[in-house]
Amino acid sequence: MKEPTKTLQLIYGALNDHFGDLHWWPGESSIEIIIGAILTQNTAWRNVEIAINRLGRQGLLDQKKLLCVKDEILEELIKPSGYYRIKAKRLKAFIHFLFEYYHGKLDDLFDNDIDVLRSQLLRVKGIGEETADSIILYAAEKPIFVVDAYTRRILERHSLIEQGLKYGDIQKYFMNHLPADVYLFKQYHGLIVNTGKTYCTKAAKCEMCPLQILIS
């Protein structure tokens, strides 16, 4: 692509006009956003919502409460989001990390510079690149671009990137050609996910997609 910046602006404009302001992933609290980021791994968000509601009803959207809750109880509560045994371990792994190094205080964790924060998160078993970046952007509210399956699919389908690029390469494609702005990155990622869900499934119609403008 000759002018990545122009292309990215064109896509953003088209999707933003179509979907409007998404207020994507507001979340009631930082810890709730982090819990959601882990529970949504390879899982539809609607199932995650059920699990989060069940946790909330028990007052467990709180790091101190999560620290104390038994694994079996946690597993039972998050079952609707799937992979419940491994995700219970991942939630616990993050909580233990938070208390071991930051006294359970998210604000202290978030005080780190963005690169330090990312490498810290990646050391937690169960937090990979996408989950780490989701936490940084939506919970810590620092400007980093989240790449997901839809991002890759949409860019590849429109031949804006070559196939088989690594996560970091796709992330750089956005971050090297857009201003580092938290709102922009949140909204852009939300627009991509909405587009993928609405127009790139087998059931939905490709020709209805706002990104048709890229083809003509």
Partner DNA sequence: CACCAGGCAAGTA
Partner DNA sequence: TACTTGCATGGT
Binding mask 156-185 for DNA (x = CB under 7 A): --------x-x-------------------
User: How many beta carbons lie within 10 A of that of residue 109, not counting itself?
Assistant: 22
Taking a C-beta distance cutoff of 8 angstroms, is the pair 170, 146 a contact? Answer: no
Residue whose CB is less far from DNA, 148 or 156: 148
Q: Distance (Å, rounded) from C-alpha 191 to C-alpha 174?
A: 14
Q: Tell me the site size for DNA, rule CB under 7 A.
A: 43
CA angle 22, 151, 171 (to 5 degrees): 105
Residue whose CB is less far from DNA, 2 or 100: 100
Region 10-29 residues binding DNA, contact defined as CB under 7 A: 24-25
Region 63-102 residues binding DNA, contact defined as CB under 7 A: 79-80, 82-87
Residue whose CB is less far from DNA, 89 or 177: 89
Find the binder of DNA among 11, 15, 34, 40 (CB under 7 A).
40
Alpha-carbon distance values, 101 to 50, 106, 116, 160 (Å): 30, 10, 13, 41
Q: Distance (Å, rounded) from C-alpha 68 to C-alpha 103?
A: 14
Closest by Cα among 138, 142, 92, 132 to 112: 142
Q: Distance (Å, rounded) from C-alpha 216 to C-alpha 23?
A: 30
Residue whose CB is less far from DNA, 5 or 58: 58
Find the binder of DNA among 16, 47, 112, 120 (CB under 7 A).
47
By the criterion CB under 7 A, which residues form the site for DNA? 24-25, 36-37, 40-47, 50, 79-80, 82-87, 124-132, 134, 138, 146, 148-150, 164, 166, 193, 196-197, 201, 203
